[in-house]
A and B are shown apart, each in its own frame.
Chain A
C-alpha cells in the first residue's frame, strides 16, 4: 500500500520483551524490509480485523502462533482502519522472524455494566447491558514468523489515541 511507512531497524527497546529474539543478522538500518514480509503482516492485520468485525473469535485465534493462548479483547466490536492505513507502521526485525505492526484505527467497543442484577440480566438477553463507545486507537500487533508464516503473538490495543 502506498504511503505505508515501513522501517527496518534494531528494535530491542522499542518492541519490548515480547520481541527480544536474538538478532543474528543485523542489516544496515536503512535497508528496506522485504516487501513480501510487510505485505504478509499487513494481510495478517486485515484478517484479524475481519474476524473481529464478524465476531469470529475462533477465526481470529487461529491467526495466533498459539491459538489456545490468544488473548482477544471481546469488548471490541468493530475496527475500521484510519486514513486507509497511511499512518500505520510495520517494523520487521533484522532477522525477519519478528515484527511489530502499529495500526491506527477507529474502534467501536463495549464494556459490560455491572454488577449483575435482574434488570441487567434481562438487558443482556437482548444484547444490552453494556456501555458502548467509539474511539480512535492503535493496535500494536506483535508478530512472529512460524514455519515461514507470519502469526500474531499478541494483539494489543491502546484506546483513546488522538491526532
Chain B
C-alpha cells in the first residue's frame, strides 16, 4: 500500500467540538473495546477487589472474557463489557461505565497484586472530546494477606527512551519519551510520518523492565493511548480511547512489537529517579486529574489580518538589545561591513547588497526592474571561518518579509530562509521558503553546480540550548521535517514540550542551518545555525502578533543530549504489494 498522507496534518485539523450529549450517544453504542488480537481470558471467572490510595475501591467480577460487573466504592454493581490482554504476568483490562462518560483502564501485576488504575472521562475540559484521567495506585486485596507497602508510581527511569512500535492494527509509530510530563509521537502509518507531535503523558514504573505509558492528544483529537511496555522485549499491550477526526469512537485494545531506537540524555541530579515532578512554585488547579498541559493558542491568540497589520504598524522591533533568547549570543561580526555583493538564488531571486556598516545594509532586487535601494538594520555573526549568518527585514514588502541568510564565503554559497507573515490558516503565523544559491562578489568565483543541500544528518539528535542563566531548552530533531522543543523543569527533568515543522540544511561538516515553524502555536519562525564544533548557535527569530513584528537574535550554548537511530523509518520505500 502506498503511504497515506493526510489532507491536513494533525495540528491543522479542525476537530469537531463534540457536545456531552453527542459523546454520550457515541459511548452508548460501544459495549466494550474491540481488539484485533484474541482477548485474554486470564480474568474469566475471577473476582478482584482493588484497594486504591485516595480513591474508592473497585470490586470486579469477571463473568467471562467479555463481561464484568464493577462496584465503585460502596456503589451497586454495574454490568459492562470489557477486554483484557496479558503481557508476561501483567494484565491490562479496560471498560466503560455504562450510561456515564467514564471508564477505567487497569494494569495489574498478577504476582505482586500491585495495580495502577486510570479512571478516564470525557466532557471534563472545555473541549469535551479530550479524555481526562486520574491515576490511582493500589493493590488487589487478598484474603488473609497484609496490604503490600509497595506501589507502582511515577518515574523518570524511562525518560529519554525511544521506540518504534507496530500494533496488531497495523498502526506504526515512533514514540519518544524525552520528558517526565510529555512525549513525542510520529504517526508513521496514520499520518505519513512527516511530523512529530507532543502530548501530555504519564510514565509509571512497574519494575525496571515494565512501565506504563499514557498520552492524551490534547489540543488535537483528545484521544488517549495507554499501554504497558516491556523495554527489554519491546512488546506492548494497550488501549486507545477517543474520537478520530471523523468523530468516530476509537475504543480498542492492541498489542504490538517494536524496536528500541535509542536513549537520549537525562539531566536530573544523580539519584533523582523521578518520584516527584518538580514544577517549582506553580500550583496546579485542585481539580481531579489536573496536570501541566501546554495549550499554546491560549497564550498566543490568533489574530485577524487587520489586527496583525494594526499591531505591526504600531510596533516593529528589529534586534532589540534586551532579549532573553540571546544571552549567549556571539559578538556581532564586522566581516560584511563595507562589502558589496549579490546573492543569486536558483529560484530566480537575486538580491544586491551594500553593507554600509556592521549593523546597516542596503538591498535591492538585482537585474531588470531593480528598484531603489532600501536600508535595513541587520546583525551578523561569524559561526565558522568564512561562514557568516545575517538577518534583516525587507521593509515595504507586503508580507513583512524577512531573510535569515547563511553565506559561506570560502565556497561562495548561500542559503536563504525567506520568512513571510501569514499562512492560509493563521494571519499571525510565519511561513518560510528555503532558497539555495551563490555569492557574486569581486574576487569570488561561485561554483556552477555545488549548492548547500537539505540533510537528514541531524535527525534523531537531541541538543540542549542554554540561552542565558535560567533559560535552557532542548531540541529534538525528531523527523526530517519536524523539530520539538522541550523546556527543563527546575531539577533538570524534561518538562513541557511542543513541536513544529522544520528543515535542516548542511552548510559544512558539523555546521547546519535549521528552521522550525511554531505553527498553531505562537507562529514564530526560528532559524539557527548550529555549529557542533563550537557547540553554539546563532540565529534569528521572526514573529508577528499582538505585540507587533519582531526580528530578534538567538544565541545559545549547546550540549549533546544523545540520539535516536530513526533514519531508516523515514526513508521513502516502494509501496508494499498486498499479498
Chain A residues with CB under 8 Å of chain B are 55, 77, 110, 113-132
Number of A-B contacts (CB under 8 A): 80
Q: Which of B304-324 contact A (CB under 8 A)?
A: 322-324
Contact B470 A117 (CB under 8 A): no
A128 and B300 contact, Cβ closer than 8 Å, known pairs A77-B281, A120-B471 = no
Taking CB atoms, residues of chain B closer than 8 Å to A115 are 322-324
Please state if A125 and B281 are interface contacts (CB–CB under 8 Å).
no
- Closest chain-A Cβ to B495's Cβ sits at a distance in Å of 4
CB of A113 within 8 A of CB of B468, answer yes
Assess the B323–A117 pair: CB atoms within 8 A: yes
Quote the shortest CB–CB distance from A75 to chain B (angstroms): 11
Option from A77, A110, A113, A127 in Cβ contact (under 8 Å) with B489: A127
Chain A residue with minimal CB distance to B322?
A: A115
Do the beta carbons of A125 and B496 come within 8 Å of each other?
A: yes
Instruction: Verify B181–A126 contact, CB threshold 8 A.
Output: yes
- The contact sample of 14 A-B pairs, CB cut-off 8 A, is A55-B283, A114-B322, A117-B325, A117-B541, A118-B521, A119-B473, A120-B324, A121-B299, A122-B294, A123-B471, A125-B282, A125-B294, A126-B489, A127-B489
Among residues of A, the one whose C-beta sits closest to the C-beta of B283 is: A55
CB A39 to nearest CB in B, in angstroms, measures 32
| Contact A122 B490, beta carbon cutoff 8 Å | no
Q: Given A119-B325, A119-B473, A121-B299, do A128 and B489 touch, yes or no (CB 8 Å)?
A: yes
**Binary per-residue interface labels of chain B (234-253) against chain A in the complex, 1 for a CB within 8 Å, 0 otherwise:** 00000000000000000000
* A113 CB contacts on chain B under 8 angstroms: 324, 468, 470-471
B279 closest partner in A (C-beta): A127
Residues in B neighbouring A119, C-beta threshold 8 A: 324-325, 467, 471, 473, 485, 487
The answer to whether A131 and B281 have CB atoms under 8 Å apart is no
| Chain A residue, CB-CB nearest to B471 | A113
Q: Is residue B524 within 8 Å, beta carbon to beta carbon, of the partner chain?
A: yes
Q: A118-B300, A120-B471 are in contact. Are A126 and B496 (CB under 8 A)?
A: yes
B217 at the interface (CB under 8 A from A): no
* B292 pairs with A125, CB closer than 8 A: yes
Chain A residues in 8 Å Cβ range of B281: 55, 77, 110, 127
**Is B176 close to A, CB under 8 A?**
no
Interface residue ranges, B against A (CB under 8 Å): 181, 278-283, 292, 294, 299-300, 322-325, 467-471, 473, 485, 487-490, 495-496, 498, 518, 521-522, 524, 541, 543, 552
CB distance from A53 to the nearest CB of B (A): 11
- What DSSP secondary structure best describes chain B's contact surface? loop
A133 to chain B, nearest CB (A): 10
B282–A118 touching, CB < 8 Å = no
Q: Which residues of B contact A130 (CB under 8 A)?
A: 280, 470
> Which B residues are in CB contact (< 8 Å) with A121?
299, 522
B contact residues around A126 at 8 Å (CB): 181, 279-280, 282, 292, 487, 489, 495-496
Is the Cβ of B469 less than 8 Å from the Cβ of A131?
Answer: yes
Other contacts beyond A115-B322, A127-B490, A128-B471: 6, CB < 8 A: A77-B281, A115-B323, A119-B324, A119-B471, A125-B292, A125-B496
A55-B282 Cα distance, complex, nearest whole Å: 11
Q: How far is the CA of A123 from the CA of B282 in the complex (A)?
A: 11
Report how far A114 CA is from B524 CA in the complex, Å. 18
Write the chain B residue with the least CB distance to A110: B281
A118 CA / B323 CA spacing, docked (Å):
12
Contact B498 A122 (CB under 8 A): yes
Give, as a whole number of angstroms, the nearest-CB distance from A72 to chain B.
Answer: 14
A159 CB to closest chain B CB (Å) equals: 17
Instruction: Report the minimal beta-carbon distance from B523 to chain A, rounded to whole angstroms.
Output: 9
Contacts of A117 in B (CB 8 A): 323-325, 541, 552
Residues of A within 8 A of B468 (CB): 113
Contact of A128 among B485, B495, B541 (CB under 8 A): B495
Chain B, residue nearest A55 (CB):
B281
A127–B181 CA distance with the chains assembled, in angstroms = 13
B473: A residues at CB distance < 8 A: 119
Give Cα A122 to B181, complex, Å. 13
User: Nearest-CB distance from A60 to chain B (Å)?
Assistant: 15
Measured between beta carbons, the chain A residues less than 8 angstroms from B280 are 126-128, 130
> Which residue, of B299, B487, B490, B541, has the highest number of chain A Cβ atoms within 10 A?
B487
The reply to whether A122 and B324 contact each other, CB–CB distance below 8 Å, is: no
Q: Tell me which residues across on chain B come within 8 A of A110, comparing CB atoms.
A: 281
Which listed residue (A114, A125, A132) contacts B324, Cβ 8 A? A114
CA A125 to CA B280, docked complex, whole Å:
10
Residues of B near A77 (CB, < 8 A) are: 281
The distance in angstroms between the C-alpha atoms of A146 and B322, with both chains bound, is 46
CB contacts (< 8 Å) of A127 on chain B: these are 278-282, 489-490
**Shortest Cβ distance from A127 into B: residue:** B280
Looking at the assembled complex, report how far the CB atom of B535 sits from the nearest CB atom of chain A, in whole angstroms. 19
- Complex contacts, B322 vs chain A, CB 8 Å: 114-115
